[in-house]
């Protein structure tokens, strides 16, 4: 059996196409059906009269759910690149195509959907645009077929093309050890835990003794199903549901692998890496990344051995923050931590045996590592390390450089000092847990302060700040307005808090630039019994939704509009007096003076005698 996958921009008709081909709606969740948008992977079975069959994996097009798309993409062998004929290629058309180019796709069929919305000429034009977009990619020579799920046009031709592609594909390494990246875990009443996934290689049979990786838990395969039908044995390329007795749903998650005992998890791999064109400038010698392997997303570091060039292979080391079990030749994709731009992908050549690299370490390196391990979280300067490890200080710098590159030590700044990498890793997990807990408990706050975090974790605050700065530099957490937060966190007010601030955010259309009086607002805040209201106010100010200018409180939009009016007036007449500014914004001296001073302070204007000029002009 083989796996067919969809890819393409949001709303281009991927799920409708799967439904038209198979009769199954791949949007399984009620929320997906209500929103008319795919959020997570969907699955369907495609069968032909002559017995040829395939599993279809349908992916979400929206970029916010790209991590879900990636969890399903590794298993695809035939790609249906879906492009709406009335829209042509869009950002995720390119991004999905690039991602799949790094994975296991053998054949591509370009499907121009919604052909009922365009005439023949427009359809031909859409095909031309797609041809241009796929030049130099895996889809370069792909057949293109126009279809409509509304009229049924083109569906038969598409079925024929899929059938032909399926019969030509070679089987997926039936003799290799089985490797099944898990993409769903659920409990079935009376049966216990079921995991599903695409069997990437090898075969599975009922009764097999298998291992869940990276946990190393041994399991027995009680029963197997392929699209609801019981099987005694399944081959590579199948969509498999496996019943695993004696293990709870909560103990397994997407990203783990069901495999035979041959594979041992590792966290450092020699890889061949090919940068994605638009991502080249974001790559450093050492880049923190999100790595996607099988159905897993794991944070790690990519170390390049040569300067990267778009589309050219380079030897690299991929170091993962938690271990993964992979087979040689397995494909991977990496994205930037934040924002999550695609950086590239490649194949894993070999796991670096940690035990081997331990023994390959020189006595001096081992002494340095021992000194750091003994110090735990207390960062040591190179001088302190030299003394503790009994190594000359000049030598220590070179040793630390190598160890840093290998991911064996972590560095903090001000002053430069080093930490034991395992201790730093464990500590990072604790920081992340604490940040996430605070974000759940008080979602209206911007994050957690270093003082609160130091207290919760029982660590000296000045050391904590230095460690946090290294996490921020690596793009593993963010710092905004004095608060630390996880990468994806967006503060959200409660309904009650929102209702309180609603009148402040509304402006009087007759007096567009009239602010609220800050002291009045503060009095009302004090009087309010709404929980967390003061912090919610701070969040609105920190995110620029509200802006304090002296004793006045503006909305961010008001300030932006005043700024635009101010810049327009100065561009017209070169300079601006206070009186002219008052006329422009139609406000009294009481508000005009602090406003102009605020624009001076924030670098928009500069005072020159009695008038203001724009700073950009002043600098020139």
Ligand X SMILES: Nc1nc2c(ncn2[C@@H]2O[C@H](COP(=O)(O)OP(=O)(O)OP(=O)(O)O)[C@@H](O)[C@H]2O)c(=O)[nH]1
Summarize as ranges the residues that interact with ligand X (CB under 6 A): 10-16, 36-38, 60-62, 113-114, 116-117, 148-150
- How many residues comprise the chain? 620
Alpha-carbon gap, residue 403 to 154, rounded angstroms: 59
Beta-sheet strand order (sheet of 552-555): 516-517, 552-555, 546-549
* Cα dihedral 82/84/89/93 (nearest 10): -30
Part of the chain binding Mg ion (CB under 5 A), chosen from 6-14, 46-54, 146-154, 555-563:
6-14
- From 24, 38, 198, 287, residue interacting with Mg ion (rule: CB under 5 A): 38
Residue pair 197/236 in contact (Cβ under 8 Å)? The answer is no
Part of the chain binding Mg ion (CB under 5 A), chosen from 34-42, 144-152, 292-300, 510-518:
34-42
**Helix or strand run (H / E) with residue 517:** strand 516-517
- Least distance from ligand X to the Cβ atom of residue 59, Å: 7
- For 225, counting Cβ atoms within 10 Å of its Cβ (0-12 exposed, 13-18 middle, 19+ buried), the class is middle
Q: Is 9 or 14 the residue whose CB approaches Mg ion more closely? A: 14
Alpha-carbon gap, residue 97 to 7, rounded angstroms: 7
340: its two tokens? 């999550």
- From 4, 5, 8, 15, residue interacting with Mg ion (rule: CB under 5 A): 15
The one of Mg ion, ligand X, none whose footprint includes residue 491, by CB under 5 to 8 A per kind, is none
Going by the DSSP 8-state scheme, the letter that residue 9 receives in this structure is: S
Q: Using N-to-C axis directions, what is the helix angle for 120-134 and 91-102, rounded to 10°?
A: 40
The one of Mg ion, ligand X, none whose footprint includes residue 287, by CB under 5 to 8 A per kind, is none
- Least distance from Mg ion to the Cβ atom of residue 44, Å: 12
14 touching Mg ion, by CB under 5 A: yes
Q: Is 69 or 289 the residue whose CB approaches Mg ion more closely? A: 69
312: its two tokens? 């050219």
- Going by C-alpha positions, the residue among 367, 401, 403 that lies closest to residue 386 is 367
Residue whose C-beta lies closest to ligand X: 61
- Least distance from ligand X to the Cβ atom of residue 125, Å: 17
Alpha-carbon gap, residue 30 to 187, rounded angstroms: 19
Q: Is 38 or 268 the residue whose CB approaches ligand X more closely? A: 38
- Least distance from Mg ion to the Cβ atom of residue 490, Å: 24
Part of the chain binding Mg ion (CB under 5 A), chosen from 7-15, 443-451, 456-464, 516-524:
7-15
The one of Mg ion, ligand X, none whose footprint includes residue 12, by CB under 5 to 8 A per kind, is ligand X
- Least distance from ligand X to the Cβ atom of residue 37, Å: 4
Alpha-carbon gap, residue 243 to 224, rounded angstroms: 6
Buried b (16+ CB within 10 A) or exposed e, 98-124: bbbbbbbbebbbbbbbbbbebeeeebe
The one of ligand X, Mg ion, none whose footprint includes residue 10, by CB under 5 to 8 A per kind, is ligand X
- Least distance from ligand X to the Cβ atom of residue 36, Å: 6
- Least distance from ligand X to the Cβ atom of residue 398, Å: 51
Provide the 3-class DSSP secondary structure of residue 615: helix
The one of ligand X, Mg ion, none whose footprint includes residue 148, by CB under 5 to 8 A per kind, is ligand X
Residue pair 368/389 in contact (Cβ under 8 Å)? The answer is yes
Part of the chain binding Mg ion (CB under 5 A), chosen from 12-20, 64-72, 162-170, 322-330:
12-20
Going by the DSSP 8-state scheme, the letter that residue 448 receives in this structure is: B
Alpha-carbon gap, residue 113 to 149, rounded angstroms: 8
Q: Is 14 or 254 the residue whose CB approaches Mg ion more closely? A: 14
Q: Is 99 or 417 the residue whose CB approaches Mg ion more closely? A: 99
Q: Quick one: residue 350, left, alpha or beta (phi over 0 = left, psi -120 to 50 = alpha)?
A: beta
Q: Is 38 or 347 the residue whose CB approaches Mg ion more closely? A: 38
Q: Is 96 or 319 the residue whose CB approaches Mg ion more closely? A: 96
Alpha-carbon gap, residue 445 to 531, rounded angstroms: 12
- Least distance from ligand X to the Cβ atom of residue 96, Å: 10
The one of ligand X, Mg ion, none whose footprint includes residue 114, by CB under 5 to 8 A per kind, is ligand X
Q: Is 30 or 510 the residue whose CB approaches ligand X more closely? A: 30
The one of ligand X, Mg ion, none whose footprint includes residue 117, by CB under 5 to 8 A per kind, is ligand X
Q: Is 9 or 612 the residue whose CB approaches Mg ion more closely? A: 9
The one of ligand X, Mg ion, none whose footprint includes residue 11, by CB under 5 to 8 A per kind, is ligand X
Residue pair 58/43 in contact (Cβ under 8 Å)? The answer is yes
Which distant-in-sequence residues (6+ apart) come within 8 Å of 156 by Cβ?
none
- Least distance from ligand X to the Cβ atom of residue 277, Å: 24
Q: Is 26 or 237 the residue whose CB approaches ligand X more closely? A: 26
Part of the chain binding Mg ion (CB under 5 A), chosen from 10-18, 123-131, 434-442, 465-473:
10-18
Cis before 200 (ω within 30)? no
Q: Is 96 or 352 the residue whose CB approaches ligand X more closely? A: 96
- Least distance from ligand X to the Cβ atom of residue 82, Å: 6
Contacts with Mg ion by CB under 5 A: the residue count is 3
- Going by C-alpha positions, the residue among 200, 198, 211, 177 that lies closest to residue 241 is 198
91: its two tokens? 């950002």
Q: Which residues bind Mg ion (CB under 5 A)?
A: 14-15, 38
């Amino acid at each position: 059996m083989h796996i067919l996958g969809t890819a393409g921009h949001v709303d281009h008709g991927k799920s409708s196409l799967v439904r038209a081909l198979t009769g199954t709606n791949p949007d399984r969740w009620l929320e997906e059906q209500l929103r008319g948008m795919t959020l997570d992977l969907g699955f369907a079975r495609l069968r032909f009269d002559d017995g040829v069959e395939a599993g279809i994996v349908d992916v979400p097009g929206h970029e916010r759910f790209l991590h879900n798309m990636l969890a399903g993409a590794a298993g695809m062998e035939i790609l249906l690149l879906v492009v709406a004929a009335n829209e042509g290629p869009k950002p995720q058309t390119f991004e999905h195509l690039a991602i799949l180019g790094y994975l296991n796709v053998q054949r591509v069929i370009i499907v121009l959907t919604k052909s009922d919305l365009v005439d023949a000429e427009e359809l031909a034009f859409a095909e031309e645009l797609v041809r241009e977009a796929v030049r130099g990619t895996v889809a370069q020579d792909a057949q293109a077929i126009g279809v409509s799920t509304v009229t049924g046009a083109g569906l038969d031709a598409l079925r024929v093309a899929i059938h032909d592609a399926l019969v030509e594909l070679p089987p997926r390494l039936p003799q290799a050890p089985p490797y099944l990246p898990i993409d769903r875990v659920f409990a079935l009443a009376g049966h216990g835990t079921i995991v599903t996934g695409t069997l990437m290689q090898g075969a599975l049979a009922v009764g097999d003794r298998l291992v869940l990786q990276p946990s190393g838990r041994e399991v027995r395969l009680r029963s197997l199903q392929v699209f609801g039908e019981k099987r005694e044995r399944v081959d590579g390329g199948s969509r498999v549901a496996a019943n695993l007795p004696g293990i709870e749903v909560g103990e397994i998650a997407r990203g783990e692998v069901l495999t035979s005992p041959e594979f041992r998890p590792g966290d450092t791999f020699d890889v061949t890496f090919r940068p994605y064109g638009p991502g080249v400038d974001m790559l450093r010698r050492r880049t923190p990344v999100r790595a996607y392997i099988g159905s897993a997303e794991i944070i790690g570091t990519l170390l390049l051995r040569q300067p990267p060039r778009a589309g050219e292979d380079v030897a690299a080391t991929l170091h993962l923050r938690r271990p993964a079990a992979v087979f040689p030749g397995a494909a991977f994709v990496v994205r930037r931590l934040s924002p999550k731009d695609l950086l590239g992908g490649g194949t894993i050549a070999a796991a670096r045996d940690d035990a081997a690299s331990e023994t390959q370490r020189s006595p001096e390196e081992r002494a340095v590592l021992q000194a750091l391990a003994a110090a735990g979280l207390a960062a040591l300067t190179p001088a302190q390390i030299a003394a503790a490890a009994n190594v000359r200080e000049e030598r220590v710098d070179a040793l630390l450089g190598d160890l840093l590159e290998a991911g064996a030590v972590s560095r903090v700044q001000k002053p430069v000092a080093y930490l034991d990498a395992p201790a730093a890793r464990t500590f990072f997990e604790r920081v992340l847990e604490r940040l996430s807990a605070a974000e759940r408990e008080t979602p209206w706050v911007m994050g957690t302060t270093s003082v609160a975090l130091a207290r919760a974790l029982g660590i000296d605050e000045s050391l904590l700040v230095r460690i946090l700065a290294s996490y921020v530099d690596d793009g593993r957490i963010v710092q905004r307005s004095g608060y630390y937060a996880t990468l994806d966190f967006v503060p959200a007010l409660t309904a009650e808090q929102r209702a309180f601030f609603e009148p402040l955010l509304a402006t009087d259309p007759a007096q567009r630039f009239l602010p609220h009086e800050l002291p009045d607002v503060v009095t009302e805040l004090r009087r309010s019994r709404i929980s967390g209201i003061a912090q919610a106010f701070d969040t609105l100010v920190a995110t620029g939704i509200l802006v304090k200018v002296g004793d006045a409180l503006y909305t961010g939009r008001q300030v932006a509009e005043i700024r635009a009016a101010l810049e327009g007036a100065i561009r017209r007449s070169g300079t601006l007096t206070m009186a002219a500014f008052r006329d422009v914004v139609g406000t009294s001296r009481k508000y005009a003076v602090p406003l102009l001073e605020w624009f001076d302070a924030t670098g928009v204007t500069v005072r020159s005698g009695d008038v203001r000029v724009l700073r950009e002009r002043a600098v020139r």
